[in-house]
Structure 1
């Protein structure tokens, strides 16, 4: 069992779906020879590349949740691509109903919070659907993910987030790994906003916030990604140095982005000399 206790678990069928998250969050890969799935993690987040299909997804969810000492009711997300008859390529959609086509079983994620992204039914099938016969999104893993995730968490903390990859104008055969990476990278801020909303549903999952975090939020405007980066940098400083990092000379920073660059530079120098 892993020593860390993450609160966020994200499952992607494809490596190209997971790569933007792994890079943005600087996650470390667990030794490949020790695990049947590619697992990347830090102390609070885990991203797993499951492989394509319902069996692979269900197996990866069960294996990962048994591997980690997870907290009660962790956030669990399936991030991946899906087809729809006319939604724009690269757009982000959440599932408000997940249907397993073979069995007919349906699952209903709960939204006890306000989201700005559209929602649709997601229809999980054994093979890619190229007919787009209904207004649903079509994928190959969501229902298996959701059914297995319910064994480890609660429905308001389990969600399926899909990026539109194909439609009537652009078929499945036109999808490339680089395009998928680009689409997900472009939606990273929206995905992190969803993640923040989910973490807010269970205060026990939120990591300790240094006092300086609140000070800097009052001082500057940060984007959702900027707030997450600020929190991660301040926590990294706490691990390396113990004490709170200095704010810097008064009036030195014109924006939150400038402070993030300065703090990152201070951390890199501190890590080098430890």
Structure 2
């Protein structure tokens, strides 16, 4: 699939990446490195591993693989907890905060993703959910690693709700994460293609 702009995708978990790999017919990049990388023309997908410490090396690797002179669109795709939305709902982050006061505002492209909202990046999975608040463990590291060199209008964070007050973190496993992403893959693909064209 031909894109006007290079797309760099980042997931934390292999189960989050697998539906994307299938959807875009991505191929494992060889030689195999410590950070799994899947590619096709115009798209690079890295699987970082969970948590903040895993994000910066994955982004550095993607940056090294990005063609010189290109201005890629960056998308962090994964799961999140949410205090109000049902499991399986898509959320496009319009701001990211951390418990210690860091804050980023993001642009929300017009389109089919109806849920926009705040994402609170935390150090460990949440068992207590605030209304209208989403929770993940990678977004602040994603933004902090990119911010010095990448304008935030080329950075997007798209999450699928995996847990909430009715369905806690104990319900999450790789099979369920794969299904949650797969069930939304049409909308995810539409979003990815739109931001690549708008790039």
TM value normalised by structure 1? 0.67
Greater mean alpha carbon deviation, residues 161-170 or residues 149-158 = 149-158
Q: Which has more strand, going by share of residues?
A: 2
- 2:183 alignment counterpart: 186
Unpaired segments ≥5 residues, structure 1 = 1-5, 203-274
Q: Are the structure 2 counterparts of residues 86 and 184 from structure 1 closer, same or farther at C-alpha, using a change threshold of 3 Å?
A: same
Contact 2:17–2:47 under 8 Å retained in 1: yes
Provide the aligned C-alpha RMSD in A. 1.9
Q: Are the structure 2 counterparts of residues 160 and 81 from structure 1 closer, same or farther at C-alpha, using a change threshold of 3 Å?
A: same
Q: Distance in 2 between matches of 1:200 and 1:43?
A: 14
Q: Which has more helix, going by share of residues?
A: 1
Contact 2:92–2:113 under 8 Å retained in 1: no
SS in 2 for 1:21: helix
TM value normalised by structure 2? 0.91
SS in 1 for 2:132: coil
Between the two proteins, the alignment pairs up a number of residues equal to: 196
Runs of 4+ in 1 over 4 A off after TM superposition: none
Q: Are the structure 2 counterparts of residues 152 and 9 from structure 1 closer, same or farther at C-alpha, using a change threshold of 3 Å?
A: farther
- 1:14 alignment counterpart: 13
> Is residue 92 of structure 1 aligned with residue 113 of structure 2?
no
- 1:101 alignment counterpart: 99
- 2:45 alignment counterpart: 47
SS in 2 for 1:78: strand
Q: Distance in 1 between matches of 2:96 and 2:15?
A: 23
> Which has the greater radius of gyration?
1
Q: Distance in 1 between matches of 2:80 and 2:109?
A: 25
Deviation of 1:153 after TM superposition, in Å, equals 2.9
